[in-house]
Structure 1
């Protein structure tokens, strides 16, 4: 600022000098530099960390219901365990929109969510003389632990298992499977809570994981895009193209469409910075700079959710009964992925350094 300014303008000087390095939106007075930091902080805490806290709570609830079921094996306790499993799936499937950091580095994802269940090996385990401790389960192949063997034991191959059909061996396996699920969920929750959330929130300002804020934002949008691609190109497409229901994600509980829907809902949770507590999200930066892009992202999201909701029978049946609806769901999710990859990512590359 030149000294030639008139004295009457000097009242402006303190305001200008408060944060000379920060950029402000001229129309709304928003400090964009601060906003970017707030977005990363809120996503790291309110979305990622909170989701793993919630998932651990639900894992413990599942373990409690399984303990009740194996102690008093009746249909009421079986129903409670099934409900707890589904509740935990909601959180896990949404969190697949941020599959980076500890959940990726520590291979948590494949260890708790590999499908389809390997029936042959599972039956071999049940028929063996091995003591099915949690440690034993932890060393099994990925397809023999986690959500889906638990699902199989709770529902049975046709989804109509009764409490009276449980064997002692199945109870032993089920108990250790849930203990292992709690252990792995505890691990990812603790790693996020005890430091990785700071890595994300301090991107470009001391983080050893993210040298720049742009690195962090691109990681977020890549994770959002990746889960859309997985749902459209793998979870939906592979069973559909092969007309093989055995390849679907949650066939025994008939929960696959709910799983897919929660995957896509997780993308919007990341975008808006809201899992349980509402905070700043990528949405806030987009709305500030490109309102039409925000509108397009939300429109594509709504179309994807609506397309999944239009499938009126379990996915395994819809493969042959409602192929047009499945194709439409794949198309709408692909369109959502395209706007994330083709428009949101370039926007963030331009706006965040």
Structure 2
């Protein structure tokens, strides 16, 4: 998803007063009423244009995956397998972006571990497949977290080595795949409804004005910043570092589809989505408030974000191979993501604490 990093800006900075520091790139004459309205709009757009819209998008893509897998189940050929793999990747893209705002019901209701626990031990999946238990949606719902969600579906669609063909599917594998996908749809329905039906969107949008979840606007803004910095920490110090330090591809996030580096990139892309208040359409984001007060901070966030994306793009082979043969590139990605974390968890958090009450 393309994002414009720098909005058009014309600035005139008077330099006639000696000894005056120009640490900020905009003046402080913006109407206070306008700033307060902007803060409210940022929270409303974060709730509706970003969070609620993204979870609707994920639900829609889960439905598309379910339909594709139903077709694969009845007409098991390589073209239908490729379609299901593409539908999995499409849904995965949205999910990974939403991990930059992983707060609220998706965390509180434990949907995240039920949908995306990794790594997956494929031997455990094979034990289920070799058994005689009916692989119903109810059975799948009762499985431990690592045996349902994205990654068991990934394993069934790609196989252990990532080169599965349609002819290799067993009847039981397809039965399991159908029920796993039904469970995935159920979980995405829960997430969507928690925002659009149960009203979490209003909790965020009305922070400091009747919200029981966020009694101040500052609490809501800090939650957004923590989501942004939190995914940096998880990617750099968990998703990348753990398999890198252990030199063990089995610890990577999406090994069967060879999708791990794409996952990491979408995680980091999601940070700019929530910062700019954009998903499938444009809104107001934290970016707009920061640009009213400190353009240098805005530029720092965007330059470090771009550097993190570039470092991930520099990894040119599947992540499980890169941790062995492109170690300097993997290390550089961790370093750049950590630098982004530092400015988000440090300067941006301090900015919010100073400018939002």
Partner of 1:104: 107
1:4-37 per-residue CA deviation (whole Å, 9 max, x = no partner) reads xxxxxxxxxxxxxxxxxxxx95157871111000
Matches within 5 A, 1:46-85: 46-85=49-88
CA distance in 2, matches of 1:214, 1:27: 20
Whether the 8 Å contact between 2:162 and 2:256 is mirrored in structure 1 is yes
| Structure 1 residue 240: Cα displacement | 0.4
CA distance in 2, matches of 1:242, 1:127: 31
How many pairs does the alignment contain?
A: 330
Partner of 2:305: 301
1:247-300 per-residue CA deviation (whole Å, 9 max, x = no partner) reads 000001000010000000001001000011100000000000000000000000
1:54-98 per-residue CA deviation (whole Å, 9 max, x = no partner) reads 000000000011001010000000000000000001000000001
Partner of 2:204: 200
Whether the 8 Å contact between 1:25 and 1:31 is mirrored in structure 2 is no
Partner of 1:137: 140
Unaligned runs of 5+ in 2: 1-26
Whether the 8 Å contact between 2:116 and 2:149 is mirrored in structure 1 is yes
Matches within 5 A, 1:178-327: 178-194=181-197, 195-327=199-331
CA RMSD of aligned residues (A): 1.1
CA distance in 1, matches of 2:30, 2:221: 24
Unaligned runs of 5+ in 1: 1-23
Whether the 8 Å contact between 1:97 and 1:227 is mirrored in structure 2 is yes
CA distance in 2, matches of 1:335, 1:30: 34
CA distance in 2, matches of 1:258, 1:28: 42
CA distance in 2, matches of 1:160, 1:29: 59
CA distance in 2, matches of 1:78, 1:163: 6
1:85-117 per-residue CA deviation (whole Å, 9 max, x = no partner) reads 000010000000011111011111000101111
Whether the 8 Å contact between 2:290 and 2:298 is mirrored in structure 1 is yes
TM-score, normalising length from structure 2?
A: 0.91
The structure that has the greater radius of gyration is: 1
| Structure 1 residue 123: Cα displacement | 1.5
CA distance in 1, matches of 2:157, 2:30: 57
| Structure 1 residue 118: Cα displacement | 2.2
- Residue 180 of structure 2: which of 168, 177, 181 is its match? 177
1:187-235 per-residue CA deviation (whole Å, 9 max, x = no partner) reads 1101111200000000000000000000000000001100000000000
What's the secondary structure of 2:278's corresponding residue? coil
